[in-house]
Structure 1
Amino acid sequence: MPLSDHEQRLLEQMEQALQAEDPKFATTMRGSDLRRQYVRRAVWSGIAFVIGVVLLMSGAITQVIPVGVAGFVVMLGSAWLGVTSWRRTPEATAEPEDVPDISPGAPRRQRRSSGRRQPNSSYMQRLEERWRQRRERGFGN
């Protein structure tokens, strides 16, 4: 649910007051770039995957089963972490018209509904779209 103009102005005023009062805390609370964090996590999981392969092969060559099993578990865990991190990585380059203008004076755009769902849309996005369409139609009236 989007914030009203009044709520957006209040939020901006609170952010500015926090920035003026304690800039170090405000910078800490703002957090780091999510894209950088997820890419870093994916790279580290790739390195861990290679270490897992080395452990697996070492266990197979030396016939020490616990080392091979540990290598397999490291490979499996790092592959899972890498794939989930890679999927969560936001797109770096967005077209200027795709970036919404959320400034207080910006006009609100209505999304077009094509009637058919997008191939990559999630379950929650489809539910939200149905709910929005139902509200626009007046709950079936």
Structure 2
Amino acid sequence: MALSEHEQRLLDQLEQQLHADDPKFAHSMASDTRKSMSTRRLVIGSLITIAGILVLLAGIVYQNIFIGVAGFLIMGGGVYFATTKSKQVDGGETAGRPSKTPTGGKGGFMTSLEDKWDERKRDQS
């Protein structure tokens, strides 16, 4: 359900006031959906971590330090992969200007608001 023009203007004014009053809080509340953690990365990272634990245990069983170290490195890589945020790279993206995301579906309303905010900031500069 779309907002009316009046509601949109009120929301824009509230957002501008929030940025003017407390920019640090406003920045912390802003969401960047392109760099958020995904469930897919979490699951894959967990599977890699479990595989690393198994390799580490195999190194212990066979009393081979190289297999144990390899298992530890695999395990660490899995944890790193699971806890880092993904960085999606679009071919049409230019430096400093994010590509337009289609409005619709999950987060479409907030995405369109963020796009309008970014356009307004670019026009003021």
TM (normalized to structure 1)?
Answer: 0.38
TM-score by length of 2: 0.42
